[in-house]
């Protein structure tokens, strides 16, 4: 547990919440707080029309569906308002090696035995030439490959969304204002602290207005105006493991039907994303500035996009890492102000959501206790370190040797926690999910196999089936998957019927 200082304590009841920043983080926080505690809190959100949002976080994971359910957000209304499409996973292209692809899907693959995951049965099936691709036993994966989608009865299909980030903030603004949150437009020019406690007292606006509060939520993006610039929270730099530090984003007009997959295409010094929405496609390239200058990255991006370009390219710089503490005194940081892990697994919006839920669970209505602050920070650190390891896995376990960037990724030393997971899987085929970890065993297995890591052994429980039984077991799963997929409508058709527009 981290040390807590008395400066985190505050006996004053919390009634006035001030959210600094109106990007995805700010408006998600405003929506959840106003929907849940709007009747007892005074909630203000400050955003500046002069300072644009980062605006590129457009691929999500299934936990957003849960977040919307908690808030009672109508999915059809949300999808129509944000031009959203469904997402069933991520297609990783050229990551294992140039020309080799796999999908990390949101579904469950096959059927586990209580003592061993499905991969052990599949491995035996491969040895005996009874099994086809690992992905053939996963409904979401096969549906995404065939560009199909439908809502299925509970637990039937695990999905997320691709959405327009700017429209999402606008949608959540309307939602939050409906529950009493107040928006203030203007630039924060000073963060005023109370000398005795060191807590934030107010935010000074360029208009001269002073906005006072009891609790401040820093959603000012990479600036980290409150948590970093004012409170000096330490930033743990993880660039020794995550070598990309830049991105270029641009939007194109859609050509063809929107697929229910985010595409992540590895390039010589980074990777390119493609996020299909109803009205356009979000594109970008994430890269290492040590290996490519902006021009090389932009050229690669332009050479590999389809459709008319709708926006000027935007260059974004970042430092991969995380603040050691995201709650200090009466300030909680959410979104980019709290840290940033690159978006190959679309985890940033999920982390915003987790921060909000955690804050609501520990909401300090009658004063801030150092124990809550310590707990919040510890949980946040644990959660993000597992995600960090999962992301590093994609870079490190690769067969690519074609550029200095990929050779560097292969040869780097990785966190001991990740090395252990890789060794365990390589030697035994086993993976164990750590409590409260985002990615479950099936995600780790899909990515480890997809990246080319083949276990040396498998669990003996797979030997309880003879060849005939194993073939029936594997074929039965695959047949059920294929039968269900064949009955699903085309994704685009389903989206058009489900949300015909505002
Ligand atoms: P911002 O969007 O930067 O918002 C900051 C806000 O603070 C703005 O409203 C601004 O006006 C305000 N502000 C700042 N300073 C002041 C001031 N002085 N006075 C008043 N207002 C101020 N996440 C995903 O989940 N999926 C993805 O696919 C994904 N892709 C990404 C791709 C890239 C290249 C990058 C960089 C990020 C990506 N993310 C993704 C992360 C995602 O974009 C962010 O987590 C999300 O947008 C939240 O941003 P934010 O609200 O913290 O910051």
| pLDDT at site 1 | 38
Residue 249 alpha carbon, nearest atom of ligand 1: 34
| Minimum mean pLDDT range among 110-114, 263-267, 282-286, 372-376 | 110-114
Residue 315 forms beta bridges with which residues? 248
Smallest CA separation from ligand 1 atom 9, residue: 22
| pLDDT at site 2 | 40
Q: What is the pLDDT of residues 135-183, one digit of tens each?
A: 999 999 999 999 999 999 877 899 999 999 999 999 999 999 999 999 9
Q: How far is CA 339 from CA 56, 142, 375, in A?
A: 16, 34, 18
Residues in CB range of 495: below 8 A, 6 or more apart: 79, 85, 86, 149, 258, 278
Residue 236 pLDDT level (bands cut at 50, 70, 90): very high
Share of the chain above pLDDT 70, in %: 98
Q: What separation in Å is there between the alpha carbon of 21 and the centre of ligand 1?
A: 9
Is the CB of residue 21 below 6 angstroms from any atom belonging to ligand 1?
Answer: yes
H, E, C per residue of 136-180: HHCHHHHHHHCCECCCCCCCCCCCEEECCHHHHHHHHHHHHHHCC
Q: Taking all residues of the chain, what is their mean pLDDT, rounded to a whole number?
A: 95
Beta strand ranges found along 253-394 (DSSP E):
262-267, 270-276, 281-287, 314-317, 321-323, 327-328, 331-333, 339-340
Residue 27 alpha carbon, nearest atom of ligand 1: 51
Residue 59 alpha carbon, nearest atom of ligand 1: 28
Is residue 317 over pLDDT 90?
yes
Q: Are 222 and 54 in contact (CB under 8 A)?
A: yes
Residue 435 pLDDT level (bands cut at 50, 70, 90): confident
| pLDDT at site 4 | 41
Is the CB of residue 343 below 6 angstroms from any atom belonging to ligand 1?
Answer: yes
| Among 417, 485, 431, 342, CA closest to 123 | 431
Residue 279 pLDDT level (bands cut at 50, 70, 90): very high
Share of the chain above pLDDT 90, in %: 93
Is the CB of residue 336 below 6 angstroms from any atom belonging to ligand 1?
Answer: yes
Smallest CA separation from ligand 1 atom 44, residue: 57
Is the CB of residue 326 below 6 angstroms from any atom belonging to ligand 1?
Answer: no
Is the CB of residue 184 below 6 angstroms from any atom belonging to ligand 1?
Answer: no
Give mean pLDDT, residues 338-348.
Answer: 95
Give mean pLDDT, residues 52-57.
Answer: 91
Q: What separation in Å is there between the alpha carbon of 57 and the centre of ligand 1?
A: 8
What percent of the chain is helix, strand and coil (3-state, nearest 5)? 40, 20, 40
Q: List the 200-205 sheet strands across, edge first.
A: 188-193, 200-205, 210-212
Annotate 5-22 with b (16+ C-beta within 10 A) or e (fewer).
eeebbbeeebeebbbbbb
Q: What is the pLDDT of residues 28-48, one digit of tens each?
A: 999 999 999 999 999 999 999
Give mean pLDDT, residues 328-350.
Answer: 96
Is residue 352 over pLDDT 80?
yes
| Among 169, 174, 168, CA closest to 34 | 174
| pLDDT at site 3 | 39
What DSSP character marks residue 343?
Answer: G
| pLDDT at site 414 | 98
| pLDDT at site 160 | 98
Instruction: Give the tokens for residue 8.
Output: 């985190």
Residues in CB range of 60: below 8 A, 6 or more apart: 87, 160, 161, 162, 163, 346, 349, 350
Q: Give the separation between CA 56 and CA 310, rounded to whole angstroms.
A: 14
H, E, C per residue of 9-50: CECCCCCEEEEECCCHHHHHHHHHHHHHHCCCCEEEEEECCC
Is the CB of residue 26 below 6 angstroms from any atom belonging to ligand 1?
Answer: yes
Q: How far is CA 100 from CA 450, 452, 459, in A?
A: 9, 10, 28
Is residue 499 over pLDDT 90?
no
Residue 91 forms beta bridges with which residues? 103, 263
Residue 25 alpha carbon, nearest atom of ligand 1: 51
Radius of gyration of the chain (CA): 23
Domain boundaries, the chain: 10-58+164-237+320-368
Residues in CB range of 446: below 8 A, 6 or more apart: 102, 103, 104, 105, 109, 134, 135
> Which residue carries 């709650």 as its tokens?
327
- State how far Cα 169 lies from the chain centre: 17
Is the CB of residue 398 below 6 angstroms from any atom belonging to ligand 1?
Answer: no
Out of 54, 55, 90, mutate this one to test ligand 1's pocket (max ligand atoms within 8 Å of CB): namely 54
| Among 266, 259, 282, 332, CA closest to 85 | 259
| pLDDT at site 500 | 75
Out of 189, 221, 277, 314, mutate this one to test ligand 1's pocket (max ligand atoms within 8 Å of CB): namely 221
Residue 105 forms beta bridges with which residues? 89
| pLDDT at site 6 | 61
Classify 452 in phi/psi space as left (phi over 0), alpha (psi -120 to 50) or beta: left
Residue 104 pLDDT level (bands cut at 50, 70, 90): very high
Is residue 5 over pLDDT 80?
no
Q: How far is CA 393 from CA 95, 102, 178, 227, 405, in A?
A: 11, 14, 43, 30, 15
Give mean pLDDT, residues 297-312.
Answer: 97
Domain 10-58+164-237+320-368 class, CATH top level: alpha beta
Q: What separation in Å is there between the alpha carbon of 40 and the centre of ligand 1?
A: 28
Q: Are 386 and 439 in contact (CB under 8 A)?
A: yes
Q: What separation in Å is there between the alpha carbon of 337 and the centre of ligand 1?
A: 8
| pLDDT at site 501 | 62
Give mean pLDDT, residues 288-300.
Answer: 98
Q: Are 170 and 80 in contact (CB under 8 A)?
A: no
Q: Give the separation between CA 304 and CA 265, rounded to whole angstroms.
A: 10
């Amino acid at each position: 547990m981290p040390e807590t200082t008395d400066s985190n304590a505050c006996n004053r009841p919390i009634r006035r919440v001030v959210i600094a920043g109106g990007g995805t983080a700010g408006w998600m926080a405003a929506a959840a707080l106003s929907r849940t505690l709007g009747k007892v809190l005074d909630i203000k959100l400050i955003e500046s029309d002069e300072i644009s949002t980062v605006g590129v976080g457009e691929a999500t994971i299934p936990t957003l569906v849960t977040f919307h359910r908690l808030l009672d957000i109508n999915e059809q209304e949300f999808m129509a308002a944000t031009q959203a499409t469904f997402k069933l996973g991520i297609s990783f292209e050229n990551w294992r090696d140039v020309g080799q692809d796999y999908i990390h899907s949101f579904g469950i693959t096959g059927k586990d035995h209580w003592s061993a995951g499905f991969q052990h049965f599949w491995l035996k099936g491969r040895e005996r030439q009874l099994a086809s691709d690992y992905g053939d036993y996963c409904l979401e994966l096969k549906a995404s490959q065939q560009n199909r989608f439908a809502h299925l009865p509970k637990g039937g299909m695990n999905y997320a969304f691709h959405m327009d980030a700017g429209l999402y903030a606008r949608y959540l603004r309307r939602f939050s204002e409906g529950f009493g949150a107040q928006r203030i437009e203007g630039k924060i020019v000073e963060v005023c602290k109370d000398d005795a406690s060191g807590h934030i007292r107010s935010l000074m606006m360029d208009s001269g207005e002073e906005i006072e509060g009891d609790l401040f939520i820093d959603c000012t993006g990479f600036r980290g105006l409150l948590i970093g610039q004012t409170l000096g929270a330490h930033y743990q730099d993880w660039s020794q493991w995550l070598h990309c530090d830049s991105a270029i984003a641009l939007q194109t007009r859609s050509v063809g039907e929107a697929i229910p997959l985010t595409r992540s295409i590895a390039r010589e010094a980074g990777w390119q994303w493609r996020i299909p929405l109803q009205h356009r496609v979000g594109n970008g390239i994430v890269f290492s500035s040590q290996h490519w200058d902006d021009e090389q990255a932009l050229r690669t991006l332009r050479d590999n996009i389809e459709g008319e370009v709708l926006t000027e390219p935007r260059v974004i710089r970042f430092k991969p890492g995380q603040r050691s503490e995201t709650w200090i005194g009466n300030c909680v940081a959410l979104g980019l102000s709290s840290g940033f892990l690159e978006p190959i697994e679309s985890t940033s919006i999920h982390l915003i959501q987790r921060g909000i839920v955690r804050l609501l669970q520990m909401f300090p209505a009658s004063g801030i206790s150092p124990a809550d602050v310590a707990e919040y920070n510890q949980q946040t650190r644990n959660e993000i370190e597992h995600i960090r390891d999962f992301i590093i896995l994609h870079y490190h376990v690769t067969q690519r040797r074609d550029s200095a960037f990929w050779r560097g990724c292969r040869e780097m030393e990785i966190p001991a926690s990740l090395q252990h997971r890789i060794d365990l899987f390589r030697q035994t085929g086993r993976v164990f999910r750590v409590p409260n970890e985002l990615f479950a065993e099936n995600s780790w297995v899909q990515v480890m196999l997809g990246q080319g890591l083949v276990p040396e052994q498998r669990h003996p429980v797979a030997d309880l089936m003879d060849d005939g039984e194993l073939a029936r077991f594997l074929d039965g799963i695959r047949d059920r998957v294929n039968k269900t997929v064949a009955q699903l409508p085309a994704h685009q058709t389903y989206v058009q019927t489900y949300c015909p527009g505002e």
